[in-house]
Amino acid sequence: MNDHRRYARAIELLRAAKLRPTRQRMALARLLFATGHRHVTAETLHDEALAAHVRVSLATVYNALHRFTAAGLLREVVVDGQRSCFDTNTTDHQHFFIEEEGQLQDIPAASVQITGLPAPPPGTSIRRVDVIVRVAKVSG
């Protein structure tokens, strides 16, 4: 799926999710979906919007990220206890997390196999299996 297609799909899904296509949401959707997969925090996206001369408040960025996530356009990735990270790649995949940089990097889902998972606790069902491979820089 190319970028233009993804952006078109985002607008489509906004409508399907009954989210009004406001100036702010369109601009954020474009930043998020028009140039390949992204991992953003509320603050990085807000900074990016301001740099692109899109006037939008931080509160609206938070609102949009959560609405987009609820609509299935984004996925939240938990990497550290301090900030939320949002991923435009909603397909099944895992992440490298570079500790020094706080940077995420996708691992194609297909390459990783998880076997031998026991049954979930009684009365529950598996929603998602999150794999974070924490890596650190090495000298050399």
Partner DNA sequence: CCAGTAAATTAGAATCGTTCTAAAATATTG
Partner DNA sequence: CAATATTTTAGAACGATTCTAATTTACTGG
| Cβ closest to Zn ion, residue 14 vs residue 87 | 87
Q: DSSP character for 78?
A: -
Quote the CA–CA distance of 117 and 36 in Å, as a whole number.
32
Please check whether residue 33 is in contact with residue 40, taking contact to mean a CB–CB distance below 8 angstroms: no
Taking contact as CB under 8 A, which single stretch among the options 12-20, 30-38, 58-66, 73-81 is the one that binds a copy of itself? 73-81
Give the bridge partners for 97, in sequence order.
104, 134
Q: Report, in Å, the least distance between residue 128 CB and DNA.
A: 18
Quote the CA–CA distance of 48 and 64 in Å, as a whole number.
15
Quote the CA–CA distance of 25 and 65 in Å, as a whole number.
9
Contact positions with DNA (CB under 7 A) in 113-132: none
Residue choice 19, 25, 38, 87 for contact with Zn ion (CB under 5 A): 87
C-alpha dihedral sign at 29, 35, 38, 44: negative
| Cβ closest to a copy of itself, residue 16 vs residue 78 | 78
90 binds, among Zn ion, DNA, a copy of itself, none (CB under 5 to 8 A by kind): none
Quote the CA–CA distance of 107 and 92 in Å, as a whole number.
10
Is 29 near DNA (CB under 7 A)? Answer: no
Q: What tokens does 45 get?
A: 């996206």
Site string for Zn ion, 97-126 (x = CB under 5 A): ---------x--------------------
Is 37 near DNA (CB under 7 A)? Answer: no
Q: Which residues bind a copy of itself (CB under 8 A)?
A: 76, 78-84, 96, 98-99, 105, 107-108, 111-118, 120-121, 123-138, 140
